Amino acid sequence: MTAPLESPRTHWPAVTAVMAGGLAIALNVGKVPVALPTLRSELDLSLVQAGWVASMLVFLAFLGATFTGMWVGRLGALRMVLGGLVICAGASLIAPLAPGWWPLIGSRLLEGLGFMVVAVASPALVTAATSPGDRRFALGLWSTYMPAGASMAMLASPWLLPRTGWTGLWFLAAAGLLLAAAAVAGQRRHYAAAAPGHAANGGGLWATARGALAQPLPWLLALSFGVWAMQHFALIVWMPTYLQEQRGAGAGATAVLTGLMLLACVPGNLLGGWLVQQEIPRGRLLLAAQLCTGAGALVYSTEALPDPLRYAAAVFVSFAGGVIPAAVMASSTVLARSPQQIGTLQGLYMQGAQLGQVVGTPLIAAVVASSGQWSSALAVTASAAAAGVLMALAAGRLEARMQGHPG
């Protein structure tokens, strides 16, 4: 067993550069939902085609995130992050330069590849650039990339789309990705501990992966991430539809209210990173978060309650649930037995999150379609929260055993 190479101090500019890459890929993901009505109109896309465009990134990560993570130690996290950002940037230029269904779906496939690579490999760069004392908080900070970037895309869309159209949005996304790649490249000397071949355990790619995946706790954490993703996805779907179909809100108001709800996840991520830094057991953090999200879902799904209270409950669910990805992602530095295993674990966690979305989508659609009420999605979210509570209790017991405590 080889411990990861440790930086004597934290290089925050290097951490910030990785965060910039995360925000760039999140904005790249978030550009499609906000532009989908315009895309359908201008490119004459059917609902099925639009669905493929929207879900391509999730589907690809669901299939290959863990396998991708296995290669982080072999290829080097820096190469993978830079390559992923450049691939995303290039792919973002394809669709506006050659408008049409096939160029669009092909570019989304490439963007999905780049997104998956950057999301899986970036935590290794954060780990390499931080001291042991700051590492857990820094990984909690990294976990904010998706809600922060997606909410930025939503909040900016009412102003940008009328001025730039969807093609301008794609060009701006490409520029942001290239700037992020330049920022990461400029800090490359601080990522030396994540270089390929450092601290190799001599067991080869598959042996390294088996060593990481043989532990039961990472699987529980990945599934916990998945049931939270299922709840969060239900919330993201519920709010715009409720606001537009049942309250007659305009597109701008819907984007702002939904974006603010997503943004509430960011302080939750930061709180989760800080609590992990204080060495609060992950099982307790997951348990508290799942209880809060389940209770909040009950409030925002109750149609008899006033709208402001229901919206506040949705914001609270986003905030409380933000603790979960922070607690899960930061665990890789504790559970990895070599630097090469960090990527494998991060890939597993990402695949768990995508599983929650892939499974949650048809479940929520089926339940809502059968009842005709979006509030009936509570059956899915409540079940997911209950499963998350059980997983949190099991994770807490495993943590206690690992630390030498009975039970």
Cα separation, 143 vs 183, whole angstroms: 19
Closest CA to 81 of 116, 106, 46: 116
pTM for this prediction: 0.83
DSSP string, 295-334: HHHHHHT-TTS-HHHHHHHHHHHHHHHTHHHHHHHTTHHH
User: Of 100-109, 167-176, 201-210, 326-335, which gets the smallest average pLDDT?
Assistant: 201-210
Residue type, 264: A
CA atoms within 13 Å, Cβ hemisphere of 144: 24
**Residue 244 carries which DSSP code?**
I
The predicted pLDDT at position 45 comes to: 81
Is residue 407 scored above 50 in pLDDT? no
Average pLDDT of span 141-150 = 90
pLDDT in tens, 1-11: 334 445 678 99
Q: Give the pLDDT band (50/70/90) at residue 13.
A: very high
Q: Where do we find the tokens 């999605």?
A: 377
User: Of 158-167, 177-186, 187-196, 333-342, which gets the smallest average pLDDT?
Assistant: 333-342
pLDDT in tens, 122-139: 998 998 899 988 888 898
Is residue 406 scored above 50 in pLDDT? no
DSSP string, 347-378: HHHHHHHHHHHHHHHHHHHHHHHHHS-GGGGH
Cα separation, 200 vs 209, whole angstroms: 12
User: Of 182-186, 293-297, 328-332, 390-394, which gets the smallest average pLDDT?
Assistant: 328-332
More confident residue, 76 or 404: 76
Average pLDDT of span 95-104 = 86
pLDDT in tens, 328-374: 988 887 887 776 778 888 889 989 988 888 888 778 878 877 887 77
Cα separation, 357 vs 329, whole angstroms: 18
Is residue 151 scored above 90 in pLDDT? no
**Residue 131 carries which DSSP code?**
-
Residue type, 280: I
User: Of 87-101, 118-132, 232-246, 392-406, which gets the smallest average pLDDT?
Assistant: 232-246
Is residue 171 scored above 90 in pLDDT? yes
Q: Are 78 and 191 in contact (CB under 8 A)?
A: yes
Average pLDDT of span 265-273 = 93
Q: What's the sign of the alpha-carbon dihedral 127, 128, 132, 137?
A: negative
Can you list the alpha helix ranges (DSSP code H) found in 71-144? 72-75, 77-97, 101-128, 132-142
Query: Which stretch, 48-52, 82-86, 379-383, has highest mean pLDDT?
Result: 82-86
Hey, how many other C-beta atoms are within 10 angstroms of the C-beta on 163?
8
More confident residue, 367 or 310: 310
Q: Give the pLDDT band (50/70/90) at residue 271.
A: very high
Estimate the crossing angle of helix 101-128 against helix 77-97, to 10 degrees: 160
Q: Is 41 exposed, middle or buried (0-12, 13-18, 19+ CB in 10 A)?
A: exposed
* CA distances, 43 to each of 32, 103, 157, 160, 190 (Å): 13, 11, 19, 19, 44
The predicted pLDDT at position 47 comes to: 66
**Residues, the chain:** 407
Q: Are 138 and 130 in contact (CB under 8 A)?
A: yes
**Residue 214 carries which DSSP code?**
T
Can you list the alpha helix ranges (DSSP code H) found in 215-322? 216-241, 251-263, 265-277, 282-300, 307-321
The predicted pLDDT at position 404 comes to: 61
The predicted pLDDT at position 2 comes to: 39
Q: Give the pLDDT band (50/70/90) at residue 82.
A: very high
What percentage of the chain carries pLDDT values higher than 90? 40
The predicted pLDDT at position 33 comes to: 76
The predicted pLDDT at position 237 comes to: 67
The predicted pLDDT at position 373 comes to: 78
Average pLDDT of span 160-178 = 91
Is residue 405 scored above 70 in pLDDT? no
The predicted pLDDT at position 299 comes to: 93
Average pLDDT of span 188-204 = 68
Average pLDDT of span 45-57 = 74
The predicted pLDDT at position 200 comes to: 44
| 3-state class percentages of the chain: helix first, strand second, coil last, to nearest 5 | 85, 0, 15
Cα separation, 135 vs 14, whole angstroms: 13
Average pLDDT across the chain, whole number: 85
